Amino acid sequence: MEEPQNNLPPGVIKTLIMNQLKGINNLANEVYLKTYLASIEEAYRLLEEAELLFDNKSFQRAYFLGMSALEEISKSQMAADVFTGLIKEDEFKKAYRDHKAKISRIKWIQIDGNSFPIFRYDNVLIEDFDFNKKLKSMYIDIDFSFNEISTPNDSISENDAKSVIKAVKVGLYRIHQVTIEYGEQIGTKGFMK
């Protein structure tokens, strides 16, 4: 990746140039750029599948895939932050397999989705991201103190699924807006101006 490639998004090209200007070796951290791009692509796939499940009234599994897409978005931004030198590789590796840590890093999606007028057209509020709810969307849970079980149907509603799907759409839209439309650097640097 010595020279910017024309098939790369504008924000990636700007990032490659800025890294060169700052003396950051693009080749040394190329795996993080590849992770960024692959994670964004995977988040789009997961969103598409979540919407398909939602349309077929499988709200619990739609929720699960929506939360998975949010984790991919988070991973993409952390990878971009390593690539740009904003965070250290160790920080990425520490959070990479920690679902709660990944989810906590994308609070900006909830804030943007609930505060920007452009996203309020549907009156769907983006709720807090709850990893335990993700687990409950897929598995039977047991409360041993009351000897009761709860099923995914008991734990996840249509509104829960709507909320998480909207969050994914907001996150992907904002990343597209900042890095493609505005041509800003990838990662949180583009959002923190």
C-alpha span between 45 and 19 (Å, rounded): 29
Query: What confidence score (pLDDT) does residue 7 get?
Result: 85
SS3 of residue 76 by DSSP: helix
pLDDT digits (tens, 9 = 90+) for 145-176: 999 999 999 999 999 999 999 999 999 999 99
pLDDT digits (tens, 9 = 90+) for 38-83: 999 999 999 999 999 999 999 999 999 999 999 999 999 999 999 9
Within 10 angstroms of residue 132's Cβ, the number of other Cβ atoms is: 11
Q: What is the pTM of this model?
A: 0.92
Neighbouring residues of 55: CB distance < 8 A, sequence distance ≥ 6: none
List, in sequence order, the alpha helices (H) in 56-190. 59-83, 89-96, 99-104, 107-115, 131-136, 152-155, 158-176
C-alpha span between 181 and 163 (Å, rounded): 25
C-alpha span between 134 and 100 (Å, rounded): 11
SS3 of residue 148 by DSSP: strand
C-alpha span between 125 and 85 (Å, rounded): 34
